[in-house]
Structure 1
């Protein structure tokens, strides 16, 4: 029986043991084999899967989305076209929409700073207040 123990996998992937166990409970990682002494023994591929999970999270994918990507991905031998391109395109559109929203927020905050807004209640009463209060 060969494989990497939990600490080795966690260290190699740059995650902590709690993250490793959490991903296992969520089904992102396959249940590892056990040594005769009861220690978890992970295949070396687990390190790569963990790195993929963390990279996907940095790209904005939720853990549920990552689980879908992993389930459909080639690492489970289901074929090369598992919808990554479609999912990445959808995520890109979502990120670009958030960036557009953040640009509006940044512009509004710049205008509030430039207008000298120090008190939200006082500012809201002024017609020149740049903050878009819904009840105006």
Structure 2
């Protein structure tokens, strides 16, 4: 006898993937998840493949990939024998973006630290933090 695939309601899928139901509906709406089959009562039913795809989408979003990048990952996943150069390029591009954001955040961190270090912690009237916020020329770094 053939084993029946496990099926999930949208609520069960939500719990398994740790995402909210509206997020699942949104991913269906924009084509990242296929529209599930429905029971006679109209209840959505998802299979293990849908859960696997949703897990991949959620993980990719957690890593900061854009919806377009995820859409491309899904498209490329449909060609298992193709080389993964395109996936490498998407990931490398994202890594470069993350690296640039980290560098910007490091500059921002240095500026905030400088503001605190140069503050005399006296009165608001002579507050270095307000001086810097009022005039970008007072900044130590370009952020």
TM-score, normalised to structure 1, is 0.80
Instruction: Summarize the alignment of residues 106-125 of structure 1 with structure 2, pairs less than 5 Å apart.
Output: 106-116=109-119, 117-120=128-131, 124=135
Q: Does 1:71 align with 2:75?
A: yes
Distance 2:11 2:74 in 1: 23
Q: Does 1:86 align with 2:89?
A: yes
1:13-66: CA deviation from partner (whole Å, max 9, x where unpaired): 111211111111011100111122221111211111111111111111122221
Q: Does 1:35 align with 2:39?
A: yes
Count of aligned pairs between the two proteins: 129
Unmatched tracts of structure 1, length 5 or more: none
TM-score, normalised to structure 2, is 0.77
Unmatched tracts of structure 2, length 5 or more: 120-127
Q: Does 1:48 align with 2:52?
A: yes
Distance 1:79 1:121 in 2: 57
